[in-house]
A and B are shown apart, each in its own frame.
Chain A
């Protein structure tokens, strides 16, 4: 999602120094990010306002007297105009105050900090799987355009786009855990390994490496491999498709013909020259797919009882814990916007033409 808008102002400053132009561009990017985040908060605020749950009742309970109710009503700022309430809301979010979760009786921000590493671990491993398999698949499919390797890759991608992730997760559990016993079941670790190693990063794979506890490391691997592969499959479908179309574009360029005429080996032409140029737009694709995985993990986490952000939001949802739901939504949205911005910045850093 790179922005391709060119405002008239940009054309006017064409003669200005590159530094000034870069500054201006950075400013515009920052402004658009802040505007988007502001809108994001507005949406979650409005969602919180239309919900049929009375926040005061949730706080004081149903048998509270009218005086207690009124006091809480005032304390929550509900007697203020909507604009003022929104201002308070933005202030709270900026200072990291998402309220207290009804379910865990702890501040939502603490809860999120606790569950987020699990999601991050899963999404990272899935992205690695998607990149390592997806890019070569896309390259092969572009080189053999229209022939059987291309068709196979296309079919793998189509299946990935068409399968409900929670269904394929269940089937994976049935086959690889239930019937074959190759992988660990739901959860991050077998129950008797839990809470043995000290939590440093919150990511068990890394924590167990730090503690040099190989038993726990391999147990964690056996648990994460199935959900990560399933998420990675989706990432693979997307990355291979994009790689294919980028590669096709490059392979039709004249410099490829030149390289071939020069007598360069086909391997070098494809894997060094063409793929080298494709890597720049691919970075954007990979970052976006990473952002999508953070979201796509909601259903996977539910199936695999993975104690991450998606599971947290879903559990909060089912028990009408709105503070936790909205806090989680805002955090997911912010991460999403942040990653989008990162992909934009990376693109501009790597591609000299976009500077």
Chain B
């Protein structure tokens, strides 16, 4: 920092003030306050090597999804029957080729798009729905609480994969239905968390103050309760994502998720299952991809829990 100021005092001045602006104890605006919080969170993330590794893995997932056409060395669905089941590292197949002579490396790269799609769609549906149910149940109380939580319990009572299986069986196999089924099975924990948070917030003084100012129920829930539930929801979401990826891969493995020739990782393992004893790479490589990505989510989730939750929740 000192070096900077010595070399070019004119350009360093705004830079340093940016840092000061980010470290300010008395933010002048809501935007600055948010930025200060974001910046201090970022510093904590960088200081936690495992969480940062998880973050990097997810950045890698994002990059490989966005830049897939440039990163891939071959067309993910182009077949070359003359080069079927080529071992890794030969003839330009970095990770080998599958039973139809398709390049496994390129398929994994393109498969990251499917994984990202599943993760994003589940992340924008299940937690939002859970938040909605949980906050209304917690804030309204009484019979509304009783009914909503009973419904949540019913969904919690089902084992996730089996319920998802039954849903996909009813709706038909395919990636959209797999995502829908996962969302339907994933929301109840968020409702539980949001309700618990709401119960601790709803009797606090600032809520009473807002209510005395004439704010309606909807306004209080949306503007004052939701923001306070967000951090626990986000932590839970990051930790859940690994499980969601595994469930999606499991559905794909059973042939109920993404349909061929889509390069979905779980389905790729399923295809490689027949050759596992002789051509081990066909099933092993996509599994490694699933493992790395879900490990990334787990590492980041663990780190985020430490960063966002000063109480350091137990489980």
Chain A interface (Cβ within 8 Å of chain B)? 1, 32, 35-36, 39-40, 42-44, 47-48, 50-52, 158-159, 161-168, 170-171, 173-174, 178, 241-242, 245, 249, 291-292, 294-296, 298-299, 302-303, 313-314, 317-318, 320, 322, 325-326, 328-329, 332-333, 336-337, 340
Contacts and interface: CB of A to CB of B under 8 A. Distances in A.
Interface string B226-247: 0000000000000000110010
Contacts of A298: 161-162, 165, 250
Interface string B288-315: 0011001100110010000000000011
A174 B277 contact: yes
Tell me the interface secondary structure of chain B in the complex.
helix
B45 to A, nearest CB: 18
B153 A295 contact: no
Interface in B251-293: 253-256, 266, 269, 273, 276-277, 280, 283-284, 287, 290-291
A171 B315 contact: no
Nearest to A293: B159
Nearest to A328: B162
Contact of B162 (A48, A159, A162, A329): A329
B169 A336 contact: no
Contacts of A164: 246, 249-250, 253, 266, 269, 287, 290-291, 294
A328 B171 CA distance: 18
Interface residues of B, number: 47
Contact of B153 (A36, A51, A168): A36
Contacts of B249: 164, 166
B273 A170 contact: yes
Contact of A36 (B150, B283, B315): B150
A43 B154 contact: yes
B250 A299 contact: yes
B315 A39 contact: no
A295 B170 contact: no
A241 B154 CA distance: 26
A325 B287 contact: no
The 3 A-B residue pairs with the shortest CB-CB distance in the complex, in nearest-first order: A39-B154, A295-B159, A167-B287
A50 B170 contact: yes
A326 B162 CA distance: 10
B276 A313 contact: no
Interface string B185-212: 0000000000000000000000000000
A294 B246 contact: no
Contacts, number: 152
Residue among A167, A249, A322, A340 facing the most chain B CB atoms (10 A cut-off): A167
B291 A52 contact: no
Contacts of A336: 157-159
Nearest to A3: B153
Interface string B24-62: 000000000000000000000000000000000000000
A58 to B, nearest CB: 13
A161 B291 CA distance: 9
Nearest to B154: A39
Contacts of B159: 291-292, 294-295, 332-333, 336
B154 A36 contact: yes
Contact of B161 (A52, A299, A318, A337): A299
Contacts of B283: 167, 170
B142 to A, nearest CB: 11
Contacts of B298: 158, 161-162
Contact of B294 (A44, A162, A174): A162
A163 B287 CA distance: 8
Given A158-B299, A314-B165, A318-B255, A35 B266 contact: no
A174 B276 CA distance: 6
B315 A245 contact: yes
Interface string B148-179: 00110111111111110111011110000000
Residue among B165, B171, B172, B283 facing the most chain A CB atoms (10 A cut-off): B165
Given A164-B266, A295-B160, A333-B162, A47 B154 contact: no
Contact of A332 (B162, B170, B255): B162
Contacts of B150: 32, 35-36, 39
B157 A173 contact: no
A6 to B, nearest CB: 12
A44 B166 contact: yes
Contact of A329 (B153, B163, B276): B163
